[in-house]
Amino acid sequence: MGKWHNSRRSMGQKGKLNIKYHPKVKSEDIPRLTSNIAVRIENAISNRLMVNPVKYGFFLRGSLRGYRKLRVGDWRIIYRIVDKEIRIIAIGNRKDVYKFVNIRK
């Protein structure tokens, strides 16, 4: 799986929720985003994923069973919930994000 980068955020009264990014999310996915898309993705992570990852994320099927997606327009955040940790494995456009997700998981 490689090294995961940590980011800790508060969940209010529920305690701390730890977010970990796959190294390629920070080195490849985020730099590809335009500034306005990057802001939308950041807001979605802060306002939806950090608040309630179960409510806002949709289950994936097939080879990505156990993973979820968060929709942000035509963009997808692919992640997995492990205890109090959210592992983001990919951020990309819906037309091609699933092509490289299987390689990273």
11-25 pLDDT, tens digit each: 333 456 789 999 999
Cα 58-84-103 angle, rounded to 5 deg: 55
Look up residue 94 and give its two tokens.
């819906």
CB-based contacts of 55: which residues, under 8 Å, 6+ apart? none
Question: Is the separation of the CB atoms in 72 and 45 below 8 Å?
Answer: no
Looking at residue 33, the DSSP 8-state letter turns out to be: S
> Is residue 8 over pLDDT 70?
no
Domains of the chain: 5-104 (3.30.2310.20)
Give the HSE-up count for residue 92: Cα atoms under 13 Å, Cβ half-sphere: 15
Give this prediction's pTM: 0.84
Q: Report the percentage of the chain scoring pLDDT > 70.
A: 85
Q: Which residues pair with 10 in a beta bridge?
A: 16
> Is residue 52 over pLDDT 80?
yes
> Is residue 1 over pLDDT 50?
no
